[in-house]
Chains A and B, each alone.
Chain A
Amino acid sequence: MTITVIDYKAGNLTSVMKALDALGCAAMVTADPDVVRRATQVILPGVGHFQATQMLEDTGLAAAVSDSIARGVGFLGICVGLQWLFEGSTEAPASKGLSVFSGQCERFAPGVKVPHVGWNEVRVDPQSRLMRGVEDRSFVYYTHSYRAPVVSETVAVTEYSGPFSGAVERGNVMGVQFHPEKSGVAGMRVLKNFVELAC
């Protein structure tokens, strides 16, 4: 089983590839919509600005991801990749998200340091497949200025000037706002759970 990692020129992919490698998982990087359409499992990493996701729309990658998701392929969005699964973000109102989950991503309310950088706790939904084996109140590593709302599909909640979605899951469509590839043992467990979905 090969994991297809989408390269849309938003930040670096090395850490994610390294983590997949450590899990003994074959992975390939692509920017080709046809490859994504044929993929068996897809990861959309991403750091930086929501605007960068416009590239997915412009290159046909968004349509390819939609097709893959419709086939039931496992999909994991990381950081901005999770935000893109929502309707959009006030960070780049002109760019549309995939609208798998309802709601807009918004900047953290004033009164806290932004970006939210560091290790924060997750409250874990025990039913979640993605978070399976991750203890409630584990710490994971975040670095972001915008956050997704808590929705009915939220499976991990973190508090930072209010609750936000640390992880979401509907069927095989999943997203994590934290960086599993940088979250030590807990993060590697999340990646392993995702990788094993297809096995």
Chain B
Amino acid sequence: MLTKRIIACLDVRSGRVVKGVQFVDLVDAGDPAELAKRHAAAGADEVVLLDITATHEGRGTLLETVRRTAKELFIPFTVGGGIRSAEEAAAVFDAGADKVSINSAAIADPDLIDAIGRSFGAQAVIVAIDARRVPNSPVSHAEVFVSGGRTRTGRRVIEWAREAEARGAGEILLTSMDADGTRAGFDCELTAAVSEAVEIPVIASGGAGSAEHFAQVFQAGKAHAALAASIFHFGIADVRALKQELARQGVPVRLPC
């Protein structure tokens, strides 16, 4: 049976892993290469490295960090942040990434999704969507934000997810900005709405704080994968313990791992 994936996320700034609460208040959490390896050994199904400051500071992706992190990682490795062109994506693949995640650049130039897909295959393109719910409105009104959550686009999340799929995205990485960093649980309603709207897999992100939250987003939230960062860095749970708990709750996971 195809298992639900637990994806360890490394938010990186200036070559160091950091994690903030609702996109601010950054705390240093370590070396990306070392943490990636540790997550893989502990049973993470994939690793995502997001250069969280690349867009607004205009820096390129940290190719050297990518190369170092990829070197001894033999599970799928995704890199996002600051990828603005097919050439920049090519450089990231060349450094050892298996997939790229594009966010602001895809909104600014949706053809980028098609272009990377043509060269590297749809499986290599993840469209990341930072979503915020509109108060007192239905989930279908949730809006897309870009530039690390700083800029609203006026676009609706579900429509953008459908367009990304039509253009050849292989997966959607959906981050709830409302839930991100709170450790109060994923936005299951939003995740389910997006998952039902597209055929490609949806990775849920933002809000993980307990094993129960993961079970909820896989079941009620209809997610295919879920991403977490701070939950692991500070020893709240390791992936293996999380998976064992999920297995007990009837969620198919890769065990032993």
- Chain A residues near B171 (CB, 8 Å)? 117
Secondary structure of the A side of the interface? mixed
Q: At the interface, yes or no: A11 with Cβ under 8 Å from chain B? A: yes
In this complex, the member of B3, B5, B254 whose beta carbon has the largest number of chain A beta carbons within 10 angstroms is B254
Which listed residue (B70, B76, B199) contacts A113, Cβ 8 A? B199
Q: Which of A22, A115, A121 contacts B122 (CB 8 A)?
A: A115
Interchain CB contact under 8 A, B5 and A118 = yes
Contact between chains at A118 and B45 (CB < 8 Å) = yes
**Cα–Cα distance between A118 and B202 once the two chains are bound (Å):** 12
Interface size class of A (residues with CB under 8 A): 20 to 34
Consensus secondary structure, chain B interface: loop
Residues of the A chain whose Cβ atoms lie less than 8 Å from the Cβ of B170: 115, 117, 143
Contacts of B1 in A (CB 8 A): 120-121, 159
The answer, yes or no, to whether B220 is at the interface (CB within 8 Å) is: no
Partner of B201, one of A14, A19, A118: A118
- Max chain A C-beta neighbours (<10 A), residue from B2, B3, B199, B225: B2
B169-191 CB mask vs A (1 if < 8 Å, else 0) is 01100000000000000000000
Instruction: Tell me if A14 and B120 are in contact (CB < 8 A).
Output: no
Rounded to whole Å, the gap between the CB of B216 and the closest CB of chain A is 19
Q: With the chains together, A47 CA to B117 CA distance in Å?
A: 11
- Residues of B within 8 Å of A160, CB to CB, are 2
Note all chain B residues with C-beta closer than 8 A to A183: 74-75
The 8 Å CB contact of B76, one of A49, A116, A182, is A182
How far apart sit A163 and B1, CA to CA, in the bound complex (Å)?
11
17 contacts between A and B (CB under 8 A): A11-B124, A12-B124, A14-B70, A14-B93, A14-B94, A18-B96, A19-B74, A47-B120, A48-B120, A48-B123, A113-B224, A117-B201, A119-B2, A119-B5, A145-B122, A160-B2, A187-B74
